[in-house]
Structure 1
Amino acid sequence: MAANNPNTTTTTPPHNPLPTPTEFWNANLPPSLHTPHCPPFLTYALPPHNAKDRAILSTPDSDYTLQSWPEVQEIIRANRLDLFQRVPSDLRLYREYCAKVVEEWGSVMRFVVVERLNWGEGEGDPGVEVTGGFGESSNYKILQNDWPYGLDPRIVHLVVWTKFPLLTDPATDDLTPEARGEIEAFVDETFVVKCGREKVVWFRNWSSLKSIQAVEHFHVMLFDPEPDFVREVTGGDVALAEKVKKGAVG
């Protein structure tokens, strides 16, 4: 056999190195799709800006470790919401899709209000007075998080969108005790009684972390809930990420 012949020259397959940090936009793409220049939807992460996202985007999916339920609980307990991350390829897909949405709809906010929430123009606007709070089912909607973080697949990530504001203390950028109490009562009644307190956590992003600023919302995460319950509270909603990956939406 040729491998045993010392005079035989073997050819090493061409090596395709991982993108350097300055080519983070090529990570998780086959070499045939690599480009010399950063696509417009990722230029926000070019140095010296957004080092966090640039580091995530540079990471091969195979090196990414999904965050566990105990990690999720600790992140929320410690209010270190900045530690949540998306799977690198999901982050790229999210940014690409958001760019398309802005091009088609003018803003992500308008897309969410009209297309995802099926609310009328202006509904959810903080300047529009809404009464009844969580006592009126038409005042809120529970949907899948369209672009969830890179979590244990048993964790279901939901978003509760409200037409009314959740009052914040401007000095701390945190919810007022009254608003926090209202959310706690809603979460207990809607999720905890069905899933158990140890399997439910919720949080509201800091203003600096909100991807959609003008429509009020907070996040609920459930550990290994019954699929039928999730379908019930979301009206059978399917996350955009799932649809995009299956080619169900553009």
Structure 2
Amino acid sequence: MTSENENVVVHTWEDVKEINPEQLRYRAYRERIKKEYGSLDNYIYQNVLNWPKESSPNDPSLQEYFSSKIPSTHYNLRLNDFPYTIDSSISHYVLWSRLPFRDPNDRNVKDDINLFLKENFPGNEEWLFFINPPQLQSIKNIWHGHIFVRDILNTPNKT
């Protein structure tokens, strides 16, 4: 928890019980980025996406939400720089978008996301897509969702 008046992070007992070395590395990384770039958003725009900060699509033919039909200049699909602790057979990607996502629980939106994933991850793979709730997002001002992909053929059977 960060105080409004200070840049001091105060962790509750519950926070401390949940902290692991991976989270501590990520938090230290975020603090260094904030000092150097002013915000995580600035860093993401400049170094990850290479989009101007005020980048918004000006193409009137585009819809106002992310879909499988938008040009690749309006999104960036890349491996997560800080993947969650997951099995090594699973890859963790982040889908950054200049356009907002609609409710991924809506059946039509799910179908469209699945079409996008099928086009970008062809073959014998399966995937999961989700958007963190706002309180869990470390980057709040750039639309993004998480994608976990695993190769079905090379995944050991778990019993």
Give me the TM-score of the superposition, normalised by structure 1. 0.50
Q: CA deviation at 1:43?
A: 2.8
Q: CA deviation at 1:41?
A: 8.1
Conserved? CA contact 1:42–1:95, under 8 Å:
no
- Report which of the two has the higher share of strand: 2
Residues in 2 aligned to 1:179 and 1:95: alpha-carbon distance in whole angstroms: 33
Q: Which residue of 1 aligns with 2:53?
A: 121
Are 2:119 and 1:189 equivalent residues in the alignment?
yes
Q: Which residue of 2 aligns with 1:55?
A: 17
Q: Which residue of 2 aligns with 1:97?
A: 29
- Report which of the two has the higher share of helix: 1
Alignment root-mean-square deviation, CA = 2.7
Structure 2 CA distance for partners of 1:44 and 1:117, relative to 1, 3 Å? farther
Q: CA deviation at 1:225?
A: 7.8
Conserved? CA contact 2:134–2:140, under 8 Å:
yes
Structure 2 CA distance for partners of 1:195 and 1:42, relative to 1, 3 Å? farther
1:213 pairs, out of 129, 137, 140, with 140
Q: CA deviation at 1:44?
A: 3.5
Conserved? CA contact 1:134–1:140, under 8 Å:
no
Residues in 2 aligned to 1:203 and 1:186: alpha-carbon distance in whole angstroms: 14
Rg (Cα) greater in structure: 1
Structure 2 CA distance for partners of 1:155 and 1:44, relative to 1, 3 Å? farther
Residues in 2 aligned to 1:146 and 1:202: alpha-carbon distance in whole angstroms: 17
Residues in 2 aligned to 1:104 and 1:111: alpha-carbon distance in whole angstroms: 9
Conserved? CA contact 2:68–2:115, under 8 Å:
no
Q: Deviations over 1:97-154 (max 9, x none)?
A: 1001111111101111111111112126xxx666264431111111111111111122
Structure 2 CA distance for partners of 1:41 and 1:207, relative to 1, 3 Å? same
Give the length in aligned residue pairs.
142
AA partner of residue 146 (structure 1): D
Give me the TM-score of the superposition, normalised by structure 2. 0.75
Q: Which residue of 1 aligns with 2:156?
A: none
2:38 pairs, out of 78, 82, 106, with 106
Q: Deviations over 1:153-203 (max 9, x none)?
A: 2211001111111124xxxxx654443332122112222x3233xx32221
2:101 pairs, out of 145, 156, 166, with 166
Q: Which residue of 1 aligns with 2:109?
A: 179
**Which sections of structure 1, spanning at least 5 residues, go unmatched?**
1-39, 58-87, 169-173, 227-250
Q: SS where residue 10 of structure 2 aligns?
A: helix
Q: Which residue of 1 aligns with 2:10?
A: 44
AA partner of residue 134 (structure 2): S
Residues in 2 aligned to 1:210 and 1:219: alpha-carbon distance in whole angstroms: 11
Could you tell me the percent identity over the aligned residues? 24
Q: Runs of 4+ in structure 1 displaced over 6 angstroms?
A: none
Q: SS where residue 53 of structure 2 aligns?
A: coil
1:142 pairs, out of 68, 74, 77, with 77
Structure 2 CA distance for partners of 1:195 and 1:123, relative to 1, 3 Å? farther
Residues in 2 aligned to 1:175 and 1:165: alpha-carbon distance in whole angstroms: 14
